[in-house]
Amino acid sequence: MLTAKGLFQEIIDDDEAFRLFCSIAASGEAQGGWENGRIAALVPPGMREMTPKITRHGADEDKHGRIFNALMRKRGLEPVPVPPDTDYTMLLEQRGIGLAHDKLRRDEPLSERDIIVYLAHSRVTEQRAAAQMDMLASHFGDHPDLGKAVRMIADDEVNHLAYCHEELLRLASAGHGPLIHRTLREAALAEIRVHRDVSLAVMRHMGRILKWPKAKSAALAAGIHVMYAYERVAGRRTMVGLRMPERRNALGGPPTPASAV
């Protein structure tokens, strides 16, 4: 029987598969760190109170990238280039989700609308990240090599998601509700498609590395398509709703250093 735990155990047990998995994860986290760092530098004057939290968000993402690289180094592995079809952040940008990198590279203040777009995009992608890391923590939280790392990252992702909920609710109460909900819907629909495509690509690469039989690869691909269909119909509701989180001011303090892993 195919299970998420069994599949990840196969990846963890194989150096080449583990190296690809960590390289993809490290690259995505580093990209998120850069994006948040640039957004923090370009926050419009009227929203500067958000700068420390955006900076903290970026610092957490950078830390996660370092953690995945450290997990590789522990096994004497070096990162590999990320296949373009598995580059989640790049594919989202190509579909117009989030803030364009060209805009972030310019030294021009962002608008209030830009910050709302950033938060809505983050609310959707952090929902995905939190769910994935919660799954890994539930299965591998006690793993001797991975446990502390996945627990720390999972806790950070909960903080990131709480931060997005709280800030978007604050902005909605200030009159930006229609823009927020429209942007959330657009981002969720695009993210669901990108997640399907990236999942299929990652499974193809892992199947090649781990020499999966065709029947196994076909079953995994079918499962990914079923999940996509479900998310299109019902699952995306979890990505567009807003509720006040239990963790308030979740990014109000300093980040936990990666050296604690």
What are the extents of the domains in the chain? 4-241
Give the pLDDT band of residue 259 (cuts 50, 70, 90).
low
pLDDT at 260: 47
**CA 49 to the chain's CA centroid:** 24
CATH superfamily, domain 4-241, is Ferritin, core subunit, four-helix bundle (1.20.1260.10)
Segment 71-92 mean pLDDT = 96
Give the pLDDT band of residue 215 (cuts 50, 70, 90).
very high
**CA 197 to the chain's CA centroid:** 15
Identify which has the larger pLDDT, 149 or 257. 149
